[in-house]
Amino acid sequence: MLAPAPESPTMPGPGEGGALRMLLPYLWPRDSVEMRARVAVAFLFLIASKAATVVIPLYFKHAIDALTATPERAVVAVPVGLILAYGAARVLSLAFGELRDAIFSKVGQRTIRRVALSVFRHLHALSLRFHLERQTGGLSRSLERGTSAIETLLRFSLFSIAPTLVEIALVTVILWRMFDGWFALATFVTVTAYILYTFTVSEWRTKFRRQMNEEDRRANTKAIDSLLNYETVKYFGNEEHEARRYDQALSGYEAAAVKSQRTLSLLNVGQAAIIAVGLTVVMAMAAQGIVRGSMTIGDFVLVNTYLLQLYQPLNFFGFVYREMKQALADMEQMFKLLSVEREIADSPGAKPLVVTGGEIVFEDVSFGYDPRRPILKGVGFTVPAGKTVAIVGPSGAGKSTISRLLFRFYDTSAGRILIDRQDIRDVTQTSLRAGIGIVPQDTVLFNDTIFYNIAYGRTSASPAEVEEAARLAHIHDFVMALPDGYQTTVGERGLKLSGGEKQRVAIARTILKNPAILMFDEATSALDTHTEREIQANLREVSRGRTTLVIAHRLSTVVDADEIIVLEQGRIIERGRHADLLALGGAYAALWARQQDSSQGPEPVPGVLAPT
């Protein structure tokens, strides 16, 4: 049985209070007078709606008293007017509530949009280390749940909890003023007991909801990870193994959901009991008042109506509180992502990179993904402007690490990297990456059209420029032969295309970007010999006059480099041109001899640099 994959380390969250504080600037934005005005107007409509709601039972009471009065005291016009006022108050209560929602809807949706965009941007700003340690399914679930939670929180907290509390206070004051303190006290005690019970039990239930969230996230992560690796699952016939892993995660969610439902039933029964006791006590006092003659039938109906009117929002209040607790938990999970500090950030006062010639200098660079295991150890070399330098060596020597450091996916542990005498830590990351183009060994495409994937190199490029880049990469004829041409979708991670086709799309994308510095990381390794030679010739044209760094495994592809650097165990052990290194008879010559004996790779094309 396979051992379970280790979970990502738990990040400390901002807490529910911290999540609310992080939300407030989006809800009350300083840079938008319109949004703040909408919040204020919506609040005024909220007050107006509650005021209309509270006077409705009063009109009802007076109408009933008028209708049940003795004949000599009855005035026919009075109940008609009160009934009309009663109807108008109900209409106004609903109208004010709808106006409130209409005014505030833009605020809510804009808040969700801005928060989601902030989290999305922050995720892209985090280091490669973070994304290698996290799982995509969990991240997408947190973002999805978090944005949905904001809408829930805004809808319930601003327009359910607060208005209900205001209504309770108004009803308590009216009962006190119209009757005696016992009615107000009974109402207040009932409501307070209901709220305290709801808070206490719901708070206890939160741990089960959190457990459900975690199990749901885990199940979703496993499902996405398995589906993304569909071919690998099929290769090894591990469908049942994947199903068992997914079922284990679902079983955890099932157990947590059952506990949550049981505690919900306990909460509902307790709430109903508290309301029933409160209603019974107040109605009994009202009935005694009528018997004594101190209260009218209208008063009895008024008390009953107020309590029934409060019962609905109170019953809904329990649901609202539970949903708000869930929303806060979901929102906290999302804002936890915003709390992750950027490992790689622009330094204060960072300026755009100014590329004059494109000279690259590694000065005594050391680095390790884990401090206990150094990868590069004092590496130093220069790629002169407009020249080509190749880095070769066995797997694990640190070749790909050099490309990641140059793109500043990580910062060096020691030493520095310069481009035209500018430390890359002192320039903006956007300008740094804009000046470098890469054709990687493993090309992953977006699940979109071929046109979109090529145009990704420069999103403002015209269709003619995209097609020209495709021609230079020798993929235009292939694309035009497809039924949908450039509008052909490539599938998840480009799986509808062959390895060579994907690689040519990546080359076209880099050609379109037109960077000052080029980097090729096994760029033609997935191509057949004939196509590889064609693309090598095109790459030579593209790289002419540009600083080019080549990371290669097949030595036959870098024989024309201006300098070849041999890397082994994180150190440079040899450097020089191809002929000089062969004459030296060292590690490079031995590696060359082994590759020639095994006939790996195509024969070198005379006069053509073949970066891979």
pLDDT tens string 190-227: 888 888 888 788 778 777 877 887 888 788 888 888 88
CA distance linking residue 228 with residue 217, whole number of Å: 16
Mean pLDDT value of segment 14-41: 79
Among 276, 305, 338, the domain-final residue is 338
Cite the DSSP H helix spans in 391-460: 399-406, 429-434, 450-455
Shared domain check, 470 and 409: yes
Q: How far apart are CA 428 and CA 426, in angstroms?
A: 7
Write the pLDDT tens digit of every residue in 339-386: 777 778 888 889 999 998 899 999 999 999 888 888 999 999 999 999
154 Cα distance to chain centroid: 19
**And the tokens for 538?**
């095109």
Residue found by looking up tokens 């009075």 in the block: 78
Contact (Cβ atoms closer than 8 angstroms) between residue 44 and residue 96: no
Q: How far apart, in whole angstroms, are the C-alpha atoms of residue 113 and residue 582?
A: 60
Instruction: Give the model's confidence band at 562: pLDDT under 50 very low, under 70 low, under 90 confident, else very high.
Output: very high
pLDDT at 74: 46
pLDDT at residue 68, rounded to an integer: 75
Q: Strand 414-419 relative to strand 422-423: parallel, antiparallel, unpaired?
A: antiparallel
Do 59 and 142 share a domain, yes or no? yes
**pLDDT (mean) for 238-261:** 86
Asked if residue 59 has pLDDT above 60, the reply is yes
Same domain, 186 and 264: yes
C-beta of residue 337 within 8 angstroms of C-beta of residue 130: no
Examine the pLDDT at 228 and tell me if it is beyond 70: yes
- Segment 405-420 shows an average pLDDT of 92
Instruction: Indicate if 331 and 415 belong to the same structural domain.
Output: no
**β-pairing verdict for 517-521 and 436-439:** parallel
Query: Is 519 inside any structural domain?
Result: yes
Tokens of 571: 């150190």
How many domains does the chain fold into?
Answer: 2
Query: Is the domain of 380 the same as that of 330?
Result: no
- How much is the pLDDT for 422? 94
| Whether residue 53 has pLDDT greater than 90 | no
Tell me: the pLDDT tens digits for 458-488?
989 999 999 999 988 888 999 999 999 999 9
pLDDT for 602: 45
CATH number at residue 403: 3.40.50.300
Q: Is residue 188 part of a domain?
A: yes
Domain assignment of residue 10, yes or no:
no
Q: Does residue 301 surpass a pLDDT of 50?
A: yes
Query: Given 338, 370, 405, which residue is the final one in a domain?
Result: 338
**Boundaries of domain holding 334:** 17-338
Among 310, 318, 322, CA closest to 278: 310
pLDDT for residue 527 is more than 80: no
- pLDDT at residue number 231: 76
In a domain? residue 4: no
Same domain, 379 and 467: yes
Do 122 and 338 meet the contact criterion of CB atoms below 8 Å apart? yes
Q: Does residue 352 sit in helix, strand or coil? A: coil
Ranges 150-164, 350-364, 393-407, most confident: 350-364
Q: Do 302 and 241 belong together in one domain?
A: yes
Q: For position 601, what pLDDT does the model report?
A: 46
Residue 6 — very low, low, confident or very high, per pLDDT cuts 50/70/90? Answer: very low
The answer to the question of residue 351 being in a domain is no
In the prediction, which pLDDT does 606 show? 36
pLDDT exceeds cutoff 90 at 537: no
More confident residue, 320 or 421: 421
Region 388-405: mean pLDDT is 87
Is 556 a domain residue? yes
Paired with 423 in beta bridges are: 418
Same domain, 374 and 282: no
Residue 521 inside a domain? The answer is: yes
What percent of the chain stands above pLDDT 70? 87
Q: pLDDT grade, residue 119 (50/70/90)?
A: confident
Find the mean pLDDT for residues 333-337. Answer: 81
| Structural tokens at position 508 | 């076209």
Given a cut of 50, whether residue 2 has pLDDT beyond it is no
Which pLDDT does position 134 carry in this prediction? Answer: 67
- What does the H/E/C string look like for 504-516? HHHHHHHHHHCCC
Whether 401 and 281 map to the same domain: the answer is: no
pLDDT of residue 525: 62
pLDDT band at 124 (very low <50, low <70, confident <90, very high): confident
What pLDDT is stored for residue 439 in this prediction? 84
The mean pLDDT value of the chain amounts to: 81
| Statement: residue 296 has pLDDT above 90 | no
β 388-392/563-568 pair status: parallel
* pLDDT surpassing 70 at residue 133: no
Q: Which residue has the tokens 């540009």?
A: 546
Contact 313, 164 (CB under 8 A): yes
- Which of 303, 338, 373 is the last residue before a domain boundary? 338
Residues 260 and 312 in one domain: yes
* DSSP symbols for 462-485: -HHHHHHHHHHTT-HHHHHTSTTG
Q: Are residues 367 and 320 in the same domain?
A: no
At 154, is the pLDDT very low, low, confident or very high (cuts 50, 70, 90)? Answer: confident
Quick one: 398 and 307 in the same domain? no
pLDDT tens sequence across 161-200: 777 777 788 788 888 888 878 888 888 888 888 888 887 8
Confidence of residue 603 (pLDDT cuts 50, 70, 90): very low
As a whole number, mean pLDDT of residues 570-588 equals 91
Residue 424 lies in a domain: yes
Looking at residues 404-426, what average pLDDT do you find? 92
Q: Which residues are CB-neighbours of 319 under 8 A, at least 6 positions away?
A: none
How much is the pLDDT for 463? 92
Mean pLDDT of 566-583: 91
Nearest to 277 by CA among 166, 196, 187: 187
For residue range 82-102, list pLDDT tens digits in order.
788 888 888 998 898 889 888
Indicate the burial class of 27 (C-beta count within 10 angstroms; 0-12, 13-18, 19 or more).
Answer: buried
Query: Cα 326 to chain center, whole Å?
Result: 18
pLDDT band of 425, cuts 50, 70, 90? very high
pLDDT given at position 535: 65
The CA distance from 105 to 116, in Å, is: 17
CATH number reported for the structural domain that contains residue 304 in this entry: 1.20.1560.10
